[in-house]
Amino acid sequence: MTEQKRVVVIGGGIAGLTAAYRLQQNGAQDVNVQLVEASERLGGKIQTVRKDGFTIERGPDSFLARKESATRLANDVGLKDKLTPNGTGQSYILVNNKLHPMPSGSYMGIPTRIRPFLFSGLFSPLGKARAAMDLIKSTKSVDEDQSLGLFFRRRLGNQVVENLIEPLLSGIYAGSIDELSLEATFPHFYDLEQEHGSLIKGLRKTTTVSKRKKGEKKPSMFRTLQGGLESLVEAVESKLEPGTVLKGTKVDHIERKQDHYHIMLSDGSVMEADSIIMAVPHFAAQRMLSQYDFLEPFKETNATSVANVAMAFDESAIKKDIDGTGFVVSRNSDFRITACTWTHKKWPNSTPDGKVLLRCYVGKPTDQEVVDYSDEEIVEIALKDLNQTMNITEKPEFSIVTRWHDSMPQYKVGHKDRLNGIEEQLQRELPGVYLAGGSYRGIGLPDCIDQGEAAVAKVLNYLS
């Protein structure tokens, strides 16, 4: 590259921030990077509130340690010492209004050890026998994508799906297991079935879950940062060259010119770019390129809404404490909350001594209206449900309700094919324009960071 090329990153969530940071690291003086963010702050869905000694996450609370890009990014921006593993402990599933311990040795709800599963009160003898059929049931190879529900129901039966797998997966995707794509969410489960003839056998061979000795502590799978995940946003932002970020400015439209692009901004100005990374949700990308039909398939990808409420108490308010880190709720329970994290136990640094911090979610796909209830109503719903298992005698000292409208993109069956088709067309019609972020190839923070980094590699390749 000879003259400086102009790269515009649209969207300052973790995908866009990573992209801007890595471009400045890798592209050095050959590229001029601008990041345009609609809101007055960076971080997108990552939002931390620091209040009265509590660290409260409004959005994501951690990331999977196994996927290395988030840890690497934190290390690179100087946060190595702030990385914190989750406190491990028993987690529970609420089925038919009763808390059941998660059977030990289960991996995303799939049993890898027989004994804990046999003794679990989560399933009837028939349900257990049906799940065991996974060990002998023939495999089915398919050319097309299938739903998570179809796949797991065929292998393990309805009970394991409804009482274990679906509440766990709903906690991640906030969607319907019978609509979500296996290929776009957990493709390795299909590979395990094909390679080992059984999910249980495949997981026993390939994971360490079943190999822990008796009494050995559960390894922590998640990481956060002391001071909250927003510390990552602040640290990455501080590494960007001065003048990189334009906040409070929305991209309205993108036009292709001969060998570059015009980006129309909400303040009426036009920014020019040789290459663009669109690190925004799919519906925002589609609006910016509304003149092109090939983004229409994004309309198949709806996004569900959820709300969460963080509630702070004095320890004395919890009359019946449960040893553990939290629970998820099965759909066949009367509860309106879908999950509760005992945050003070999962993340001890988040809470001052002598206090308790609980975070509950509402907003099943069949109960979307609850997201727009008033703060008081959401707190009341959460306390009513919690009191069925915990006995909380006092109102919270304070509570923080966060609503996330249309924020959980649903990777429905066929998602990957649709996305591949859109990206191929994008390259033909708009060379040098790339997509990255939670709407596309993985919603977890490490997936979004991976996508930001992958987009940078494509941009540099395109420009050279």
Residue 305 binding ligand FAD, by CB under 6 A: no
DSSP output for 215-283: TPPPPP-EEEETT-THHHHHHHHHHSPTT-EE-S--EEEEEE-SSSEEEEETTS-EEEESEEEE-S-HH
Q: Which of 13, 105, 149, 175 binds ligand FAD (CB under 6 A)?
A: 13
Contact between 149 and ligand FAD (CB under 6 A)? no
Point out which span in 56-64, 190-198, 311-319, 331-339 binds ligand FAD (CB under 6 A). Answer: 56-64
Region near ligand FAD per CB under 6 A, out of 156-164, 208-216, 277-285, 388-396: 277-285
Binding segment for ligand FAD among 309-317, 340-348, 368-376, 402-410 (CB under 6 A)? 402-410
The verdict on 186 binding ligand FAD (CB under 6 A) reads no
User: Is 44 an interacting residue with respect to ligand FAD (CB under 6 A)?
Assistant: yes
- Residue 131 near ligand FAD by CB under 6 A: no
Among 9, 15, 93, 381, binds ligand FAD (CB under 6 A): 15
Beta strands, E only, 71-187: 83-85, 91-95, 98-101, 106-107, 110-111
- Given the rule CB under 6 A, which of 97-105, 280-288, 323-331, 344-352 is the region that contacts ligand FAD? 280-288
| Interface with ligand FAD (CB under 6 A), residue from 85, 116, 197, 444 | 444
Asked if residue 273 binds ligand FAD (CB under 6 A), the reply is: no
- The minimum distance between CB 310 and ligand FAD, in angstroms, equals 11
Considering only 62, 159, 176, 343, the residue that binds ligand FAD (CB under 6 A) is 62
Q: In the Cβ-directed half-sphere of 241, how many Cα atoms lie within 13 Å? A: 13
Find the part of the chain contacting ligand FAD (CB under 6 A) among 36-44, 153-161, 315-323, 387-395.
36-44
Span of 114-122, 135-143, 317-325, 438-446 interacting with ligand FAD by CB under 6 A:
438-446
- CA-based nearest residue to 94, from 388, 321, 384, 343: 388
CB of 117 to ligand FAD, least distance (A): 27
Tokens of 180: 């979500």
Query: What is the size of the binding site for ligand FAD (CB under 6 A)?
Result: 35
Residue from the set 5, 6, 7, 12 that interacts with ligand FAD by CB under 6 A: 12
Rg (CA), the chain: 23
* Candidate list 280, 310, 311, 358; residue touching ligand FAD; CB under 6 A: 280
**CA–CA dist 169, 161 (Å, integer):** 10
CA dihedral sign of residues 54, 228, 347, 172? positive
Instruction: Yes or no: say if 452 and 18 are a contact pair by the CB < 8 Å rule.
Output: yes
Closest CA to 136 of 201, 208, 192, 204: 201
Q: Could you give the CA distance from residue 413 to residue 178 in angstroms, rounded to a whole number?
A: 9
**Residue 154 beta carbon to ligand FAD: minimum distance, rounded to whole angstroms:** 28
Q: Which residues contact 289 (CB under 8 A, 6 or more apart)?
A: 254, 295, 430
Report if residue 39 touches ligand FAD, rule: CB under 6 A: yes
Q: What are phi and psi of 388, to 5 degrees?
A: -75, -20
Distance, in Å, from the CA atom of 217 to the CA atom of 169, rounded to the nearest integer, reads 24
Beta bridge partners of 95: 98
Can residue 443 be called a binding residue for ligand FAD (CB under 6 A)?
Answer: yes
The least CB distance from residue 12 to ligand FAD, in Å, is: 5
User: Could you write out the DSSP letters of every residue in 311-363?
Assistant: EEEEGGGBSS--SSSEEEE-TTSS-SEEEEEEHHHHSGGGS-TTEEEEEEEE-
In the complex, minimum distance from the CB of residue 123 to ligand FAD, in angstroms, rounded to a whole number:
28
Using the rule CB under 6 A, give the single segment among 27-35, 53-61, 178-186, 384-392 that binds ligand FAD. 53-61
> What is residue 308's three-state secondary structure?
strand
- Applying CB under 6 A, does 157 fall inside the site for ligand FAD? no
Helix (H) or strand (E) holding 453: helix 445-463
Instruction: Please name the residues in contact with 436: beta carbons below 8 A apart, sequence gap of 6 or more.
Output: 15, 16, 19, 277, 278, 279, 448, 451, 452, 454, 455
- The footprint of ligand FAD on residues 199-258 (CB under 6 A) is 250-251
Choose the binding region for ligand FAD from 60-68, 138-146, 157-165, 336-344 (rule: CB under 6 A): 60-68
Q: Could you say which DSSP state residue 13 is in?
A: B
Report the nearest approach of ligand FAD to the CB of residue 14 (Å): 5
Minimum gap (Å) between residue 128 Cβ and ligand FAD = 31
Type of residue numbered 87:
G
Least distance from C-beta 87 to ligand FAD, angstroms? 15
Is the CB of 149 or the CB of 437 nearer to ligand FAD?
437
CB of 451 to ligand FAD, least distance (A): 7
List interacting residues with ligand FAD (CB under 6 A): 10-16, 36-39, 44-46, 59-63, 250-251, 279-281, 284, 306, 404, 407-408, 437-438, 443-445, 448
